[in-house]
């Protein structure tokens, strides 16, 4: 029998071809870029750049500081007050009455000066307490003035005024006609200020006093001109308005009495007051009898068109015992005639019928 040739089965597993090993190509070493400048010159350039940055930064800082200082100056622009004392006193300020003006804020007082003033005030108080209280009425009135000066005062200065004198008179008229203030400027103070007036032409100084809402004090306002400025000094006296007014009245009578005792010309303050009073209600154009008014002559003489006059103010006493300004009349110093009503603000005269 023929024998079958048996085919030997070849193994199915195929031999994998060996992969060739990858050889990493070595990267060429990086060569540093050649600098355009030598090493020492690069250092110099860096230093110059740093210096330039510092200069720019400093300039910016200076600009910022200067702008900040300008803003600070703008913030510190002084603002004029709208009233003096407290709102309860209802005393409008200088600029509220005369209009907007340049206000100069007062310089701060050094602490050492304040301490010195305080010690001086304490010493004065102790000296006053040691003195006897039995003094004449005229001296008591002057003590009232001193007491007012011892009180804390506020000063307000207005500068670069076109007509300081007119502004002062406008504000003075407001105090006298609307707030019942009276002129308590002393004759001796007027005489003492003559020298300063020659140095500062057209200088004026008035002291006014008026009622306060506090029954234990009175209001004191001093008005002064110097060149193109007006200074307002506001304070409070340490006695009641009624007592102060009474002392002023008694002092006025004492002055009149002293004048009468001395050989003087026929014209005096008392004669001027009595002469105006004697004109009567009709001629003076008053609403009530002349005897119901108070006539107070101002110290000094007013010169109008070459003639000398006493200015006699007329006041009406109100129910609360304060005085309300009514009008001002001119009494001729030569013949004691009363022929004009006088507007102290405008300087105009109105003939009496």
Give SS3 for 73: helix
CA distance 225 to 232: 9
In angstroms, the Cα distances linking 167 to 34, 138, 229 are 85, 33, 10
Which residue bears the tokens 């008014």? 293
What does each of the 353 residues of the chain score in pLDDT, given as a tens digit? 455 555 555 555 555 555 555 555 555 555 555 555 556 677 777 787 888 788 888 888 888 887 766 655 444 557 889 999 988 999 999 999 999 999 988 766 554 445 555 555 555 555 555 454 444 444 444 444 444 444 678 999 999 999 999 999 999 999 999 999 999 887 544 444 444 544 455 689 999 999 999 989 999 999 999 999 999 999 999 899 989 988 888 887 777 777 666 654 444 788 888 888 888 888 888 888 888 899 988 877 888 888 888 889 999 888 888 888 999 998 888 888 888 888 888 888 888 86
CA distance 260 to 254: 10
pLDDT tens string 29-73: 555 555 555 566 777 777 878 887 888 888 888 888 877 666 554
CA contacts within 13 A on the Cβ side of 117 = 11
Q: Among 125, 126, 176, which Cα is nearest to 151's? A: 125
pLDDT of residue 145: 47
Q: For residue 290, count CB atoms less than 10 angstroms from its CB and return exposed for 0-12, middle for 13-18, buried for 19 or more.
A: middle
List the chain domain ranges.
78-106+138-263, 265-353
H helices present in the chain, as ranges: 39-75, 94-98, 111-130, 137-150, 164-178, 187-192, 194-199, 241-261, 269-277, 280-284
Q: In the chain, pLDDT over 90 holds for what percent of residues?
A: 24
Strand partners, 219: 210, 236
């Amino acid at each position: 029998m023929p024998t079958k040739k048996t085919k030997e089965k070849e193994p199915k597993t195929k031999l994998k071809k060996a992969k060739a090993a990858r050889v990493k190509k070595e990267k060429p070493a990086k060569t540093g870029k050649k600098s355009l400048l030598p090493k020492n010159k690069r250092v110099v350039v860096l230093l110059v750049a740093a210096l330039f940055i510092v200069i720019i930064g400093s300039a910016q800082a200076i600009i910022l500081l200067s702008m900040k200082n300008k803003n600070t100056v703008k913030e510190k622009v002084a603002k004029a007050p709208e009233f003096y004392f407290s709102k309860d006193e209802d005393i409008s300020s200088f600029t509220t009455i005369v209009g907007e003006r340049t206000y100069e804020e007062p310089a701060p007082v050094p602490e050492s000066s304040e301490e010195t003033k305080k010690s001086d005030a304490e010493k004065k108080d102790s000296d006053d307490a040691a003195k006897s209280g039995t003094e004449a009425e005229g001296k008591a009135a002057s003590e009232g003035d001193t007491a007012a000066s011892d009180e804390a005062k506020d000063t307000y200065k207005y500068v670069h005024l076109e007509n300081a004198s007119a502004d002062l008179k406008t504000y003075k008229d407001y105090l006298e006609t609307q707030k019942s203030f009276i002129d308590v400027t002393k004759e001796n103070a007027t005489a003492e200020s003559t020298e300063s007036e020659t140095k500062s032409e057209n200088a004026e100084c008035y002291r006014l006093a008026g009622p306060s809402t506090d029954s234990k004090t009175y209001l004191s306002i001093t008005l002064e001109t110097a060149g193109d400025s007006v200074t307002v000094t506001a304070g409070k006296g340490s006695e009641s308005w009624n007592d102060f007014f009474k002392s002023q009245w008694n002092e006025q009578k004492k002055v009149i009495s002293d004048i009468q005792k001395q050989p003087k010309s026929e014209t005096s303050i008392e004669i001027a007051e009595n002469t105006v009073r004697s004109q009567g209600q009709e001629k003076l154009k008053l609403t009530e009898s002349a005897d119901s008014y108070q006539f107070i002559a101002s110290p000094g003489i007013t010169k109008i068109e070459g003639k000398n006059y006493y200015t006699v103010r007329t006041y009406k006493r109100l129910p609360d015992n304060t005085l309300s300004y009514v009008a001002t009349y001119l009494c001729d110093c030569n013949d004691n005639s009363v022929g004009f009503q006088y507007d102290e603000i405008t300087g105009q005269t109105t003939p009496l019928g």
